[in-house]
Structure 1
């Protein structure tokens, strides 16, 4: 039997009941709090050591870190389940625990005796100099975290800080709930006329949504079995789940249907959304957004910062709001000429379809027509060439060639394999080995859209590489890679669009960053401790192999015939890489500027101010009108419920780094094993144990340049900008 290494410490999801996890979490908090209760201060008011050696202080720090594994594990499982299999019971327990987790986290960050141990370590300069780099870096980052947690505040201000943190955690969770509930509440049954233009795979998705609609309405009592039986089969329903939404927006000939669905999507959780949750409460996020901004500003002021954006940037590569804003606006200037040509091309084609003025609900539809005409490329025609099993096997073959590693699936239907617990039947588990068959880590794939699962794609670094010699504890990295792809339908495997292929490669890049680390200090292993505006480097970097002919050959073959992607379709796919790149870049800059400016504004903006800022940014950089009712901000989970507040610019910042890093492979050969080893050794293996700028320069041999980003984006007048001058160079769960 193929066994599972105990160093993976895999979770038993079959026994991971919310009530059980709740008990484990509360017990872990109580144990850790008792440890903190017994601590005494080891430095005086000037930070000088009092009766404790740096060695003993480090021992206490490491013991406390190890104690927190139990909490990290139980909470990690619960929060993961809340994202992928959310139901009322999981959500209730998750939200009930948030204030307790927040209070505990704040206590740790403001705990003077624990803080004094870190001070004792760094104050002994000779001892600190002897520490391994990863340990030293973790201690430096911890000291910064203490400062940003209010350790230096007076007691009354610390209490206020704690209350703010607690309220923010609850508000962010509610914001996320509202988006999930609003997305799943929308169901629009379609008639035959509205189906015109939809592809075979699109119709299958709509029929699947219709079957789910029938089951849901029957279970809720909205319809009786007699009502259900009276509905046609298949029953086509348009939902706001991304695969269904995109199928309609890209192919439906009915312009009014596209506008209806677009409006529903961009008004989710806004004042225009009439849906309610199970308790009958409004899903409108408007007040929550302004409350979050106000609380973040209060937090920033308590810590001595001018605004929350300054707090966010204190942990990133970029130094200031002005620097990031300059980077974004300069890039917008580079992208605008291309974007204007993109829009003119779309409008020219729109005229042929009787559309005098292109609107957002026309963009994907007309863009597909342009691809078919100009490039002889249809996403639906190439979808059969990207069956998910082939894509996954090809992805594994690519990373095996690049990094000399091996991936093996652990299947539960094999009598010779030890079974692995999953949270859903769609989930699969894999182990990662080096060239000598040494186990490096493990990862789960959960790739399909379904009810109860939040939208988007992400990598959750559930468990870091870590060792604790005092208790002979060895822990290998484990992560969850999650997507919302088109599921398998009509007896065929999932067939991916090329956009979905890129998403899979992106998340796998994050996964490799987590899994290939050789750092055993958990706080800086893998993606941990990596500056947020550099954490997207490995993920965006990985996408390049899905844009290369050699890479595409490994990930594509026809689902029925096994034939390779025909040369004309391959040429068309590669030619279309920069199609609409100008407009897409401006869209990302629009979101990044909006995020930056609302967090840099003081006093904190109310809802009207938030919308006004977004409109101002659009007038500055967007080249296509947005309807007045658009409330995209109400669903902007990245910044209101995720880790990207005043950091959404990180995608473009890291894209500069990733493009420049890939240009080294373009020079040496994209499967050059020496270059692959260098990238693994200088970027992927070291995690956050050194500053990201140092890691990049160790790989590239110089500071970053914007040249490759502009070239890869297809922008004219490419110019080199040194990262030191622009830093205008520059994650998930």
Structure 2
């Protein structure tokens, strides 16, 4: 009798979804052992099918089952981290990584797949086969003997180090708190944020307020606190997380982890015949080479710099003349920016937040999704999830009868808490299968401030934009009826194009009608006024140019760091970062600042040697949204075409083909520059 995997109870209805509330750390290793054993048996069967087109479907199904089991473990670690779960994850990671390393170098399996005649396959399967064979090559299938063994060992070590880096950032974030008993220290911070700090103190058994490095608390202090020393304390604690500097210096230090990650990435790239990790990374992306990427980034920096210098000059003048800050320090910039926004555009982000209850924002978001893509988003049917804050939603065809099966589902977890990593992200829970009989499911995770007891949750407009962004990723997964999992939805999409749907949907969070629909003041119920919305739109490009330079700084640092990793000497991340700042940055952090030590996107995420992808994809997304602007645009027809040509194909076609099919041409730079408020 086959073993039942305790991690996965997938089936054709909501009752067979993963039993998140019943999955404990004690189930992780057993579940992964069963999943790996099942996958190994399936691969044995695949080896016996050389050249058989049915091999591809068999491998796809087996890969999907393994990925879904491991995906649940990774998801739970990111939203419910605990010592027991970390230990179980580490043990299971060693098991699955060893298995996947062996599969990646399985010459017999590779040969069996390489013999499949492509003319016997559908276009989706041809694309899947092409990407699968490429992945074998990038997994070292052509290596022999000691070189192959070293490659596998390095690959497993990199997986382990990535998790260690992420854990250190989470630990460092949670380790620092500031207990405040004097309300004067919190002067200027909005009441909603202070209430969250008071609730955090109460939960910790303290009086007063507890300031933390979780995003809602940190951003509230940096943007609003009049106490300059308080801002400096948080800036120092946040900017030195997981490093050799700051209040917890050395306690969670990622320095050695970073060096080892870079060394191993260089070894892997060189073993495969690439010049450096950047060349290896670009082998699966849209951008043709590092020179093209660097030229793209430097052009953006050149275009942004005059406006950024003017914006920074405005901040310095305002800080000196109106706030008595003669020398603008990095920890002053968010605060001064907020005050200048209020003075110049009569905009108070706290006032806007009071108009944006999360429930109303979700309703407006779901209305936009419904209008564009002919679907309805409904509250889910009480699925037991991993935390009381998590909610389920179902995606239905517009007009579907009550009680009808959904076409997709969404699990959302929106509030910051201990044990949950920071940031916002989407991930896949279940893939589209069997022609939709098994419907896809996505996770949508953010870190908004939880509501104070007895109050409704509200979010900032920036957080509203983030919510729309992540929903774009979600829709890419949920509205892709491709029955080949490795190229459905976000799977198989070039990483420098995967942000297209998410950045595209952000734009709708700025539309006046959407802002009206998303708003209801917490006390009066009144929506945002026309005058306030007009001021918001007038300030849309306010101080954007310095932010663009920051994005270029991060992307150039990532690119040059990984190019240097291919050289004879180990790269020094701090030295490379300082050199990049010398070239493009307007504001230089203090010498002790350690941004790279918590740069999880490139050390613990999917953006290594690819952080430029955000800006590269925005070239596509800005131009895609431009089609929807103007009174003559038929938004329903355009939405249907965007769904058909961009969302539905997912990774089953190259991203540029998807874009051209939607827009009728290749992308233009003009819309990107307009989005950033910069003229060419």
Q: TM-score, normalised by structure 2?
A: 0.94
Deviation at 1:588, TM superposition (A): 0.5
Secondary structure at 1:646 match in 2: coil
Aligned to 2:457: 494
CA, structure 1 residues 630+160, in 2 after alignment: closer, same or farther (shift >3 Å)? same
The reply to whether residue 479 of structure 1 matches residue 448 of structure 2 is no
Deviation at 1:348, TM superposition (A): 1.1
CA distance in 1, matches of 2:423, 2:326: 33
Aligned to 2:219: 246
After superposition, what is the alpha-carbon deviation per residue over 1:568-592, rounded to whole angstroms, capped at 9, x for unaligned? 2111111111111100000000000
The reply to whether residue 201 of structure 1 matches residue 201 of structure 2 is no
CA distance in 2, matches of 1:157, 1:73: 31
Deviation at 1:605, TM superposition (A): 8.7
Aligned to 1:308: 277
**Are the counterparts in 1 of residues 60 and 486 from structure 2 also a CA contact under 8 Å?**
no
CA distance in 1, matches of 2:568, 2:299: 26
Deviation at 1:196, TM superposition (A): 1.8
Aligned to 2:430: 463
CA distance in 2, matches of 1:5, 1:560: 44
Q: Which runs of 5+ in 2 are unaligned?
A: 1-10
Q: Which moved more, 1:682-691 or 1:5-14?
A: 5-14
Aligned to 1:654: 617
Aligned to 2:5: none
Secondary structure at 1:475 match in 2: coil
**Are the counterparts in 2 of residues 61 and 114 from structure 1 also a CA contact under 8 Å?**
no
The match for 2:131 among 138, 141, 152 is 141
Secondary structure at 1:269 match in 2: coil
Deviation at 1:96, TM superposition (A): 1.4
Q: Where do residues 596-635 of structure 1 align in structure 2 (5 Å cutoff)?
A: 596-603=559-566, 609-635=572-598
Aligned to 1:180: 170
Aligned to 1:258: 231
CA distance in 1, matches of 2:275, 2:239: 32
CA distance in 2, matches of 1:643, 1:192: 42
**Are the counterparts in 2 of residues 9 and 475 from structure 1 also a CA contact under 8 Å?**
no
**Are the counterparts in 1 of residues 645 and 659 from structure 2 also a CA contact under 8 Å?**
yes
The reply to whether residue 91 of structure 1 matches residue 60 of structure 2 is no
Aligned to 1:107: 102
Deviation at 1:491, TM superposition (A): 1.6
Q: Which moved more, 1:317-326 or 1:438-447?
A: 438-447
After superposition, what is the alpha-carbon deviation per residue over 1:242-262, rounded to whole angstroms, capped at 9, x for unaligned? 000011111111111101110
CA distance in 2, matches of 1:31, 1:676: 41
Q: Where do residues 19-418 of structure 1 align in structure 2 (5 Å cutoff)?
A: 19-37=26-44, 40=47, 52=50, 54=51, 57-121=52-116, 124=117, 128-190=118-180, 191-214=182-205, 233=207, 235-273=208-246, 275=248, 282-351=251-320, 352-412=322-382
CA, structure 1 residues 684+8, in 2 after alignment: closer, same or farther (shift >3 Å)? farther
CA distance in 1, matches of 2:14, 2:569: 49
After superposition, what is the alpha-carbon deviation per residue over 1:37-65, rounded to whole angstroms, capped at 9, x for unaligned? 566577xxxxxxxxx5x3xx222332233
Aligned to 2:667: 704
**Are the counterparts in 2 of residues 287 and 607 from structure 1 also a CA contact under 8 Å?**
no
After superposition, what is the alpha-carbon deviation per residue over 1:254-279, rounded to whole angstroms, capped at 9, x for unaligned? 11110111000000000014649xxx
After superposition, what is the alpha-carbon deviation per residue over 1:367-408, rounded to whole angstroms, capped at 9, x for unaligned? 111111100000111111100000001111111111111111
CA distance in 2, matches of 1:453, 1:606: 36
Deviation at 1:282, TM superposition (A): 3.2
Deviation at 1:552, TM superposition (A): 1.2
CA, structure 1 residues 182+65, in 2 after alignment: closer, same or farther (shift >3 Å)? same
Aligned to 1:690: 653
CA distance in 2, matches of 1:241, 1:400: 33
**Are the counterparts in 1 of residues 237 and 247 from structure 2 also a CA contact under 8 Å?**
no
CA, structure 1 residues 18+490, in 2 after alignment: closer, same or farther (shift >3 Å)? closer
CA, structure 1 residues 257+463, in 2 after alignment: closer, same or farther (shift >3 Å)? same
**Are the counterparts in 1 of residues 56 and 129 from structure 2 also a CA contact under 8 Å?**
no
Q: TM-score, normalised by structure 1?
A: 0.88
**Are the counterparts in 2 of residues 428 and 446 from structure 1 also a CA contact under 8 Å?**
yes
CA distance in 1, matches of 2:135, 2:561: 24
CA distance in 2, matches of 1:38, 1:399: 42
**Are the counterparts in 2 of residues 534 and 692 from structure 1 also a CA contact under 8 Å?**
yes
**Are the counterparts in 2 of residues 457 and 483 from structure 1 also a CA contact under 8 Å?**
yes
Q: Which runs of 5+ in 1 are unaligned?
A: 43-51, 215-230, 413-419, 719-733
CA distance in 1, matches of 2:154, 2:274: 16
CA distance in 2, matches of 1:83, 1:575: 38
Aligned to 2:4: none
The aligned length equals 664
Deviation at 1:712, TM superposition (A): 1.8
**Are the counterparts in 2 of residues 8 and 477 from structure 1 also a CA contact under 8 Å?**
no
CA distance in 1, matches of 2:571, 2:471: 39
**Are the counterparts in 1 of residues 31 and 69 from structure 2 also a CA contact under 8 Å?**
yes
CA distance in 1, matches of 2:19, 2:136: 34
Deviation at 1:173, TM superposition (A): 0.5
Deviation at 1:12, TM superposition (A): 0.8
Aligned to 2:7: none
CA distance in 1, matches of 2:228, 2:31: 53
Deviation at 1:70, TM superposition (A): 3.4
**Are the counterparts in 1 of residues 468 and 506 from structure 2 also a CA contact under 8 Å?**
yes
Aligned to 1:425: 388
Secondary structure at 1:459 match in 2: strand
CA distance in 2, matches of 1:60, 1:567: 59
CA, structure 1 residues 258+316, in 2 after alignment: closer, same or farther (shift >3 Å)? same
The match for 1:558 among 521, 524, 527 is 521
CA, structure 1 residues 519+436, in 2 after alignment: closer, same or farther (shift >3 Å)? farther
Deviation at 1:22, TM superposition (A): 1.8
Deviation at 1:474, TM superposition (A): 4.1
Aligned to 1:542: 505
Deviation at 1:668, TM superposition (A): 6.2
CA distance in 1, matches of 2:16, 2:556: 42
Deviation at 1:5, TM superposition (A): 5.3
CA distance in 2, matches of 1:427, 1:32: 31
Q: Which moved more, 1:546-555 or 1:681-690?
A: 546-555
CA distance in 2, matches of 1:19, 1:671: 54
The match for 1:678 among 638, 641, 647 is 641
Aligned-residue CA RMSD in angstroms? 1.9
Q: Which moved more, 1:448-457 or 1:565-574?
A: 565-574
Secondary structure at 2:428 match in 1: strand
Secondary structure at 1:189 match in 2: strand
**Are the counterparts in 2 of residues 668 and 675 from structure 1 also a CA contact under 8 Å?**
no
**Are the counterparts in 2 of residues 8 and 442 from structure 1 also a CA contact under 8 Å?**
no
CA, structure 1 residues 10+41, in 2 after alignment: closer, same or farther (shift >3 Å)? closer
CA distance in 2, matches of 1:209, 1:514: 35
